[in-house]
Amino acid sequence: MATTIANLTTKADGSMEGVFATLRVNAPITLIPNTNKSREDAPDYRIVNKRTGFEIGAGWHRISQRSGEEYLSVKLEAPEIGVIFGNLAPAPGGEENKKVILWNNPQ
């Protein structure tokens, strides 16, 4: 079962802003498009904690092997949480500019 760990709103410039929340963390975050990728495997997005300005993660465009559709795979990392992998998905309610990051427990 997937768990929502972030609620985001897409901005006109392609960035996304919202809140990353777990039992230990409640942080405002921004996903910023990485328009100056230095390598092909560099992240497509940088994830920044808006309070501190520190980069806490990244996101990569991927293609689903099952459906063939593109999605955004994210990795968040901080001492309080360790490493968390998730995927960006449309938020419930159907609003085009609303997104969530879903975490799937690897166990």
Structure confidence by residue, pLDDT tens digits, 10-30: 999 999 999 999 888 899 999
Q: pLDDT (tens digit, 9 = 90+) per residue, 61-87?
A: 999 999 999 999 999 998 888 999 999
**Residue 48: per-residue pLDDT:** 97
Cβ atoms 10, 20 nearer than 8 A:
no
Q: Are 29 and 7 in contact (CB under 8 A)?
A: no
- Please, which pLDDT band fits residue 104 given cuts at 50, 70 and 90? confident
Domain locations along the chain: 25-102
**Cα–Cα distance, 41 to 26 (Å, whole number):** 29
